[in-house]
């Protein structure tokens, strides 16, 4: 069997590392064409040694220079590129079959959109692509014939629980609702006052999943689930009222599909991102992910309603989805700015939701027809949220 040629955008992050772990378990099945990162030179160098990609891209020019010197010193046959244009170049290269889109934040949007327009199989781990540019991105997928497979454990679970031939028509498929499960994060049982006083160290200590710092904070605020609600709307052509959120602290049920006949089909498994990664890499086959078997004996599974009073970010995401236009792009950008300030210990945890609400009030309602419209909304939201956060620092 001819190897599938793979470009991993965001190779040095958690998803990228797990993707390479799965790839290593299947010698000869995948050919790593390109790896991209931001500033982690040592990790990228290790990955270049192990996987010998033809290209390594660092979005940070200084990091690219450092990597280029190290690669040359070790005589590795890897071309080192830098900048946003290089990300797009490797994502759309004719040799590439599969693009793992795992760059955190809006920075991953242009290259992922370019890969969609080039008709690639896209393994989508970058939430912001659909949150910011949902209609634009899905139109590009449809126009080019690209194949879109979700990597988020929740959306991957829904993808597995839907009929194989599901084309976005809920009535035809007998689908009543999509249920996204949320762990509730590290602050699930805390009172509002304790959540407001939470530290970055507390926010990134996720009880079940190993994730990057930004997504861990999003999980703590439930913004991660809010972003997933917006993603689900575009991935599955769902109306907002057809998307439900339930808190499931054990993270065993990854999400569910409710059918018109009363059936609820759930995808379950050990909380390990290698499962959805392996499912998408091998699709339609199932391949070994290196994940331990799920042990259910002696386990209890519980479900709770989310509390949007203590976790207002979830409601803000539903509000942005209902508003349409540029609102989701504003929501996402304001959140990225606020989370970064919080991780720098410059603002309190409750400033995240407050700054997002301020940015939505100021900017929601603008155009969202083109990528330039969306990137402008992103820039404006960062400016407005940043200025607001300065007042509470």
Q: Output the six-digit token pair for 36.
A: 């991209």
- Tell me what pLDDT residue 250 has: 93
- Tell me what pLDDT residue 113 has: 93
DSSP string, 284-320: TS-----PPPP--TT-----B---TTT-HHHHHHHHH
pLDDT in tens, 132-157: 889 999 999 999 999 999 999 999 99
Q: Across the chain, what does the average pLDDT equal?
A: 94
- Tell me what pLDDT residue 210 has: 60
Mean pLDDT for the stretch of residues 244-264: 96
Q: In this prediction, what percent of the chain has a pLDDT beyond 90?
A: 87
Q: Does the pLDDT at position 254 exceed 70?
A: yes
Mean pLDDT for the stretch of residues 332-361: 96
Would you place residue 252 in the very low, low, confident or very high pLDDT band (cuts 50, 70, 90)?
very high
- Tell me what pLDDT residue 132 has: 87
Contacts of 259 (CB under 8 A, 6+ apart): 174, 175, 176, 265
- Tell me what pLDDT residue 128 has: 80
Task: Say how many C-beta atoms besides its own lie within 10 A of residue 64's C-beta.
Answer: 22
Mean pLDDT for the stretch of residues 292-304: 94
- Tell me what pLDDT residue 211 has: 66
Q: Does the pLDDT at position 43 exceed 80?
A: yes
- Tell me what pLDDT residue 209 has: 61
pLDDT in tens, 87-100: 999 999 999 999 99
Q: Does the pLDDT at position 307 exceed 70?
A: yes
pLDDT in tens, 165-216: 999 999 999 999 999 999 998 999 999 999 999 999 999 887 666 667 888 8
Helix axes 312-323, 351-363, angle to 10 degrees: 20
Mean pLDDT for the stretch of residues 253-276: 96
- Tell me what pLDDT residue 393 has: 66
**Beta partners for residue 7, in sequence order:** 34, 99
Cis bond before residue 284 (omega within 30° of 0): yes
pLDDT in tens, 212-221: 788 889 999 9
Q: Please name the residue that has the structure tokens 């991102």.
A: 273
- Tell me what pLDDT residue 127 has: 81
Would you place residue 325 in the very low, low, confident or very high pLDDT band (cuts 50, 70, 90)?
very high
Mean pLDDT for the stretch of residues 72-85: 95
Whose CA is closest to 280, among 292, 269, 289? 289
Which helix (H) or strand (E) segment holds residue 259: the answer is strand 253-259
Domain boundaries, the chain: 4-150, 159-323
- Tell me what pLDDT residue 104 has: 80
- Tell me what pLDDT residue 371 has: 86
**3-class secondary-structure state, position 148:** strand
Mean pLDDT for the stretch of residues 33-38: 96
Q: CA torsion sign, 219 to 192 to 253 to 251? A: positive
- Tell me what pLDDT residue 108 has: 85
Options 3.40.50.720, 3.40.50.2000, 3.30.70.260, 2.60.120.260; CATH of 4-150? 3.40.50.720
Would you place residue 105 in the very low, low, confident or very high pLDDT band (cuts 50, 70, 90)?
confident
């Amino acid at each position: 069997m001819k190897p599938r040629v793979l470009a991993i955008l965001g190779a040095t992050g958690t998803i990228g590392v797990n993707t390479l772990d799965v790839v290593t378990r299947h010698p000869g099945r995948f050919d790593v064409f390109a790896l991209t990162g931001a500033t982690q030179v040592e990790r990228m160098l290790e990955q270049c040694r192990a996987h010998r990609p033809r290209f390594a891209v660092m979005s940070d020019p200084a990091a690219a220079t450092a990597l280029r010197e190290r690669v040359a010193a070790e005589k590795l046959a890897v071309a080192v590129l830098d900048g946003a244009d290089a990300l797009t170049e490797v994502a759309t290269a004719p040799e590439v079959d599969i693009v793992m889109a795992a760059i955190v934040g809006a920075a991953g949007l242009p290259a992922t959109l370019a890969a969609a327009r080039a008709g690639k199989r896209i393994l989508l781990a970058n939430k912001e692509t659909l949150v910011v540019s949902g209609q634009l991105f899905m139109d590009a997928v449809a126009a080019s014939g690209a194949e879109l497979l979700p990597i988020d454990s929740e959306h991957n679970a829904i993808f597995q629980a839907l009929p194989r031939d599901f084309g976005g028509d809920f009535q035809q498929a007998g689908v009543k609702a999509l249920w996204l499960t949320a762990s509730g994060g590290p602050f699930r049982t805390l009172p509002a006052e304790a959540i407001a006083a939470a530290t970055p160290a507390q926010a990134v200590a996720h009880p079940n999943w190993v994730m990057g710092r930004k997504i861990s904070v999003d999980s703590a605020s439930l913004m991660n689930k809010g972003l997933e609600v917006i993603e689900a709307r575009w991935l599955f052509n769902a109306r907002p009222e057809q998307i439900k959120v339930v808190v499931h602290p054990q993270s065993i049920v990854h999400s569910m599909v409710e059918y018109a006949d009363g059936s609820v089909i759930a995808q379950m498994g050990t909380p390990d991102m290698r499962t959805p990664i392996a499912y998408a890499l091998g699709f339609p086959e199932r391949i070994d992910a290196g994940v331990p078997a799920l042990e259910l004996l002696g386990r209890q599974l519980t479900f709770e309603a989310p509390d949007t009073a203590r976790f207002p970010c979830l409601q803000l995401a539903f509000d942005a989805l209902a508003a349409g236009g540029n609102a989701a792009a504003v929501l996402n950008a304001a959140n990225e700015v606020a989370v970064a300030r919080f991780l720098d210990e410059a603002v309190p945890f409750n400033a995240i939701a407050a700054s997002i609400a301020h940015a939505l009030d100021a900017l929601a309602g603008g155009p969202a027809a083109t990528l330039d419209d969306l990137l402008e909304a992103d820039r404006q939201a960062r400016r407005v949220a940043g200025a607001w956060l300065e007042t509470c620092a």
